[in-house]
Structure 1
Amino acid sequence: MKETISKRAEKIKFDKAGYYAIGLIALALLGFWPTYFSKFFDGTANFNFYFHFHFAMASLWIMLLIVQPILIKKKKLSIHRKIGKLSFIILPLFIVSVILLKHYRIDGIITEGLGASLWLQLKDLVIISIMFTIAMLNRHNMQIHARAMIATGVVFVEPTLGRFITLTLLPNPDFMLGLGITVAILYALIISLIIIERKQTNGRWVFPLLLGIFMIFHYLIFFQVSFHLWDSIATWFVKLPIT
């Protein structure tokens, strides 16, 4: 019986992940509707290049997460590999888009607790970079590769769902409350994946690692942790003439 379960666990694939990734589009529409998409309908859209650039790069990454598993499911491995090479271009550009947009929105203003305010964006960049690196180092191990790429998609859940909860569902916008609710849902999602994965023999460490990194950053965010060196780096970042 144990041998049967083991064999069955080893055969678990993530070729349907692309269909689930479509949900990220719905979350993006819900989360960014009040502050971005709706503006194009009421004539108040006055966004500059940084907003559009970030939207474009995030959209391309989500499209990769949708298309690539579907290509695997349809056994289009050659096309999957060719499109996969685009990730080495899209991800760096996505990271640059986040940095530029954050720098622009700070607008050169150095405030108390500036360092602590940067953990939110740094979290996403660190996690997506770590998970993408794991995915690429294990691109010949589908079990690890697939999990790590799914983890890069999980990164998009918090900023999209968080905006939807904060700006639409809460009676009064409350960033920390909205973030707290979002984090609870996010943890429930990751823990569910960990439970589902409990009988896997290859790669089941990816989702616990993802949860651990999230927990470290969320501790820094909720308790507004900072220190002199990080505040100095934050000040240096704000003073850079990049936007």
Structure 2
Amino acid sequence: MEKGYRNLGYALLLLIPLAYFGMDKSWFIHFPQFGDQMNGYLRFHTVVVLAWIGLLIVQPMLIRYHQVEWHRRVGKGSYFLFPILLLSTWFQVIRISGSDEPINLFFPLADSVLLILFYGLAIYYRRQQPLHMRYMIGTAIVLLGPTMAYIGPHRLGWSANFTQYAQYAITIFLLTGLLRLDQMHGKKYKPYLIIGLSYAVHLLVYSLLFMWT
């Protein structure tokens, strides 16, 4: 593993407290007796997202500690887990499509496109570890969207619009830092350019759709 990314697995542990603050009232407080607080979809989606976060954390740690064979086995498990992750998101699409604000379909659909793009590229470059790793980092960044969508309004009292632009700002900050790190060490930073361009399109479409809301 590249020296600058040896602690990537530990850094991704930050996804756990983010998930806690992003799903507190919908999962952790009511576990294991949910009652009417959670529907079946939300339980399913939460479990799948937590499993994906676990995979993102474990995989770089396996590489760091030279457990390459286990890394490959867990990676093959993602072929099964990733479609389930998308399926759990599709349930949200169905729910929103029947609501009073179908424009909010943008969020699960756009995030699904980003996930498919980044994961697809990660699998395509699975034998080129530096590129594979960077695109998997891209899938982790996508998780910031739904997490911030809860934390902003419910924890910090932000408006939905301000929360979304705050997410873009955080994403730009992260990608800029990662890109500069690679530039300083002469590494391949093209994946971060592709991820950044994808988010630029995400930002443009969001701004056009929600400009007058």
Give TM-score scaled by structure 2 length. 0.88
Question: Counterpart in 2 of 1:73?
Answer: 64
Question: Counterpart in 2 of 1:214?
Answer: 199
In 2, Cα distance between equivalents of 1:177 and 1:34: 22
CA-to-aligned-CA distance 1:35-63 (integer Å, 9 cap, x gap) = 44334499765322211111111111111
Counterpart of 2:106, as a letter, is: W
Checking the alignment, whether the CA contact within 8 Å between 2:26 and 2:37 is kept in structure 1 is no
Checking the alignment, whether the CA contact within 8 Å between 1:139 and 1:145 is kept in structure 2 is yes
Q: Which consecutive unaligned segments of at least 5 residues does structure 1 have?
A: 1-9, 226-243
After TM superposition, give the deviation of residue 161 of structure 1 in Å: 2.7
Question: Counterpart in 2 of 1:184?
Answer: 169
After TM superposition, give the deviation of residue 206 of structure 1 in Å: 0.5
In 2, Cα distance between equivalents of 1:71 and 1:134: 21
Question: Counterpart in 1 of 2:117?
Answer: 130
Question: Counterpart in 2 of 1:230?
Answer: none
Identify the match of residue 44 of structure 2 among 36, 53, 63. Answer: 53
Q: Secondary structure at the match of 2:62?
A: helix
After TM superposition, give the deviation of residue 166 of structure 1 in Å: 1.9
Q: How does 1:1-243 map to 2 (within 5 A)?
A: 11-12=2-3, 14-40=5-31, 45-106=36-97, 108-109=98-99, 114=102, 116-170=103-157, 173-199=158-184, 201-224=186-209
In 2, Cα distance between equivalents of 1:221 and 1:165: 17
CA RMSD of aligned residues (A): 2.4
Checking the alignment, whether the CA contact within 8 Å between 2:62 and 2:68 is kept in structure 1 is yes
In 2, Cα distance between equivalents of 1:44 and 1:168: 23
In 2, Cα distance between equivalents of 1:105 and 1:76: 42
C-alpha distance 105-119 of structure 1, shift in aligned 2 (>3 A) = closer
Q: Secondary structure at the match of 1:223?
A: helix
Counterpart of 1:87, as a letter, is: S
Q: Which consecutive unaligned segments of at least 5 residues does structure 2 have?
A: none
In 2, Cα distance between equivalents of 1:101 and 1:123: 13
Checking the alignment, whether the CA contact within 8 Å between 2:92 and 2:108 is kept in structure 1 is no
Q: Please say which of residues 87-96 and 120-129 is displaced more in the overlay.
A: 120-129
Checking the alignment, whether the CA contact within 8 Å between 1:19 and 1:66 is kept in structure 2 is yes
Checking the alignment, whether the CA contact within 8 Å between 1:119 and 1:217 is kept in structure 2 is no
Q: Secondary structure at the match of 2:183?
A: coil
Q: Which protein is richer in helix relative to its size?
A: 2
Residue-pair matches, total: 211
C-alpha distance 96-133 of structure 1, shift in aligned 2 (>3 A) = same
CA-to-aligned-CA distance 1:4-30 (integer Å, 9 cap, x gap) = xxxxxx954533211111111110111
CA-to-aligned-CA distance 1:187-231 (integer Å, 9 cap, x gap) = 111111111122455531101111111111121112217xxxxxx
CA-to-aligned-CA distance 1:93-128 (integer Å, 9 cap, x gap) = 00000011231244x3465xx3x4322112211111
